[in-house]
Structure 1
């Protein structure tokens, strides 16, 4: 284990993150909301920790390998999530528990919150919450596309040949910097387009920038308690749907489309096609239910509600234009259930990812055929590519672990006195990086005890780090040579 290189990278991350607090200082000074001193204090603390780690551990990082990658990625979200709580403790006067929950929710692009009265929150703190998700989204993209395939935890290995980076090599080579540079450029470009579209649609410039940060990152934080519903604009909702879907599509595919200048690559990709088809089918089905059960007597309004909420949930964004907890016929449970599907592997979305669901479904169909024709030899394919047995096994293991951990964490919340509906909604929301849940956590998690809040914080990290990436560092074999 190259501990000096790991400390060096972590220190560099802290230094970079401290620099991102400068816009908040300037905004606070410009509007005179009194938060500048809190951001300066946080900046100095973060920069000081970063200088110590970076300055005393400067060394070569060329020999980093997969095991180092697990630790770096885990520390990235745990440490930055924890220290990112500083402005919320100092400025918003949250308890440490609530501030860490809010910051981790931001960095993991979950969108669950313990805060209310967002409309009256100081402007610089409003911007900070939105920035947390945008920075977390960058980390998610680089992690999912450039690093995850080499760590071998299932899902993105299928795209090794297409990923714009050194994914065939176990070493974490300097070429990852080139991969990250492209991905960040694409991410920034999408954010700018989203902000301009929101601004054109009628948002203020501040709202447009703030919501573009959390739309492209599929994070879901809003600087309004009513979320996107605050604007009551079909045009704004349509823009959000488009960019949520783009955020839920693999950035590897975005790269291929950009490189070939051929948008039909989206249609040709099995995962993307399946993802969009599922979203469209569910939106139509739920719209029919809303209209049939009399929730609304306007078919167009039913389609508007269903399309927005389905895309928001399946991409794990968590924006809202209506309280789906009030929908009839078990539809709230259905929406939380589809959050387990998530978006595409290599996207900013949470959940199990569509590619894993697709592999598991096709493997189940293959096993059924083999019961009828035991001698048949038919490999599992996604598109024109054969899925190797080790990938199938990794997907099986991942989904099994996901379900077991979900049930375990839900039981922990039940033991802490949380009712069953709330416990199910809270863990599903946090593990799938969704945001809104069911029951008492439909809009905010303030009803949970400190213990349950920490459990949900851990669930968010597990979901964002693809379960095994975080769990592996707790095994004795990880630390043995």
Structure 2
């Protein structure tokens, strides 16, 4: 293991991250709302530590091995989560405990959207901006991680996606070089963010709210600058814009690239994961709308459609925005939407959950087993879009699913051990492991009431879900540390 190169890269990444603290620092100076010193100190500390690491190890050279790649990814997300907590701890009018500050920081970077902060409308502008920016940076990190970095390490959703699914975008990279791949993804991500911000502004938001919400919408994060979330604006236009961009952000970004390159929507419809993703959201909207209308939760079917559509897309894509108090709805709908968050977005998107491609393969495998009961000696290949899926891929999907369910149950039980009721415990586990944000019960809108040990468990769950389990768990194996 080449520790010198690993810490050199961490130093470079930290130095680069320090630059991202300039916008909130400028906003703090502009508004003079008491957060300037905390951001200035964080910027200087991050730049100093990162610069020192790089400078002291600048002569280190050598090729990185797969183990080194795993460790870089894990260390960077962990270190960044810790550094990101500093402004939350020291800024005036916030001053969270270290546990709460770290929880909030990891929630932003992993685009989970769970929060321990209330009274957002009274917070300093710089802190509000910083929360949104954390999610935006985390969302881009997820895309590059999923599409460009993890495949080189032989892990991750996109590695699985390329192995399972035919189509034009199953090459190792979108562009010949990894730097070109990352740059292409940045352009797409930035373009979606700018389009979302302009649309929000035209719908009546201030520029501050428009840009802030575009950050968390495209990142599928769910943080808002207001306690009432999207419901603060009470605008059908704002809700429609949010739904469109949440839907787009939940699609594999490789498909966006292909559609843009070919100037055709055809690549979307040829992709089985996209079709399944769209079908699941549509089905969820139809079921939720009919249930809310038939139970007289909303007398007007159009009003039922409005709120059901928004909350279905928001929770199923693991964004976590709210346009109304959906927790007061009949329990069937909120529970249904939390269950849908286990499927989440597409591989190579900013969405959380297990990913639609894995759900699709599990469903097809289930159907194949039913057929095998009738024809036990038949050879029945599992196909997607006319191509046979290798058996090792099916085994990998089953392994991931089994581990996901086991970890979810273990986290839920661990939370219950601290005296938390089952609904709150298991919905909190789902909300963090799926990178969803809001749960049910006591964590429907805020996690502040959770004991500190529970917050640490949930912080670990956020990171575990964001790095797709194996990436993080591999370092806890004995084989990883053998030379």
Q: Could you tell me how far 1:141 is from its partner in structure 2?
A: 0.2
The CA distance in 2 between the partners of 1:402 and 1:162, in whole Å, is: 30
| Cα-to-partner distance string for 1:252-304 (whole Å, 9 max, x where unaligned) | 11111112111121111110111011101110111000011111101001001
What is the aligned partner in structure 1 of residue 369 from structure 2?
367
| Cα-to-partner distance string for 1:407-458 (whole Å, 9 max, x where unaligned) | 0011110001111110011000000000100000000001100000000000
Distance 1:105 1:372, change over 3 A: same
Q: How does the TM-score come out when normalised to structure 1? A: 0.96
What is the aligned partner in structure 2 of residue 416 from structure 1?
418
The CA distance in 2 between the partners of 1:319 and 1:52, in whole Å, is: 40
| Cα-to-partner distance string for 1:201-250 (whole Å, 9 max, x where unaligned) | 11111100000000000000001000000001111101101100111001
Q: Could you tell me how far 1:335 is from its partner in structure 2?
A: 1.2
SS state at 1:352 partner: coil
Q: Is 2:12 the partner of 1:9?
A: no
SS state at 1:350 partner: coil
| Cα-to-partner distance string for 1:326-383 (whole Å, 9 max, x where unaligned) | 1115222111111101010110000000100100110111122122112322321122
What is the aligned partner in structure 2 of residue 471 from structure 1?
473
Answer yes or no: is the 8 Å Cα contact 2:246–2:314 preserved in 1.
yes
The CA distance in 2 between the partners of 1:335 and 1:118, in whole Å, is: 25
Where do 1:327-406 residues align within 5 Å? Answer: 327-406=329-408
The CA distance in 1 between the partners of 2:143 and 2:270, in whole Å, is: 22
Q: Could you tell me how far 1:386 is from its partner in structure 2?
A: 2.2
SS state at 1:218 partner: coil
**CA RMSD of the aligned region, Å?**
1.7
The count of aligned residue pairs is 477
Q: Could you tell me how far 1:188 is from its partner in structure 2?
A: 0.7
Q: How does the TM-score come out when normalised to structure 2? A: 0.96
| Cα-to-partner distance string for 1:119-143 (whole Å, 9 max, x where unaligned) | 1100011100000000000100001
The CA distance in 2 between the partners of 1:3 and 1:391, in whole Å, is: 32
Could you tell me which runs of 5 or more consecutive residues in structure 2 were left unpaired when the two chains were aligned.
Answer: none
Answer yes or no: is the 8 Å Cα contact 2:136–2:219 preserved in 1.
yes
Distance 1:334 1:363, change over 3 A: same
Q: Is 2:99 the partner of 1:97?
A: yes
Select between 468-477 and 25-34 the one with higher mean Cα deviation.
25-34
What is the aligned partner in structure 2 of residue 75 from structure 1?
75
Answer yes or no: is the 8 Å Cα contact 1:166–1:176 preserved in 2.
no
Select between 142-151 and 333-342 the one with higher mean Cα deviation.
142-151
The CA distance in 2 between the partners of 1:163 and 1:7, in whole Å, is: 33
SS state at 1:114 partner: coil
What is the aligned partner in structure 1 of residue 153 from structure 2?
151
Answer yes or no: is the 8 Å Cα contact 1:436–1:443 preserved in 2.
yes
Distance 1:464 1:59, change over 3 A: farther
Distance 1:54 1:164, change over 3 A: farther
The CA distance in 2 between the partners of 1:198 and 1:62, in whole Å, is: 47
What is the aligned partner in structure 2 of residue 199 from structure 1?
201
What is the aligned partner in structure 1 of residue 37 from structure 2?
37
SS state at 1:328 partner: coil
Q: Could you tell me how far 1:150 is from its partner in structure 2?
A: 3.3
| Cα-to-partner distance string for 1:137-158 (whole Å, 9 max, x where unaligned) | 0100001111223333453223
Answer yes or no: is the 8 Å Cα contact 2:230–2:239 preserved in 1.
yes
What is the aligned partner in structure 2 of residue 108 from structure 1?
110
Moved runs in structure 1, 4+ residues, more than 6 A? none
Answer yes or no: is the 8 Å Cα contact 1:129–1:221 preserved in 2.
yes
What is the aligned partner in structure 1 of residue 267 from structure 2?
265
Could you tell me which runs of 5 or more consecutive residues in structure 1 were left unpaired when the two chains were aligned.
Answer: none
Select between 210-219 and 72-81 the one with higher mean Cα deviation.
72-81
Answer yes or no: is the 8 Å Cα contact 1:62–1:174 preserved in 2.
no
Where do 1:48-447 residues align within 5 Å? Answer: 48-58=48-58, 63-91=63-91, 92-153=94-155, 155-157=157-159, 158-159=161-162, 166=172, 175-447=177-449
Answer yes or no: is the 8 Å Cα contact 2:162–2:171 preserved in 1.
no
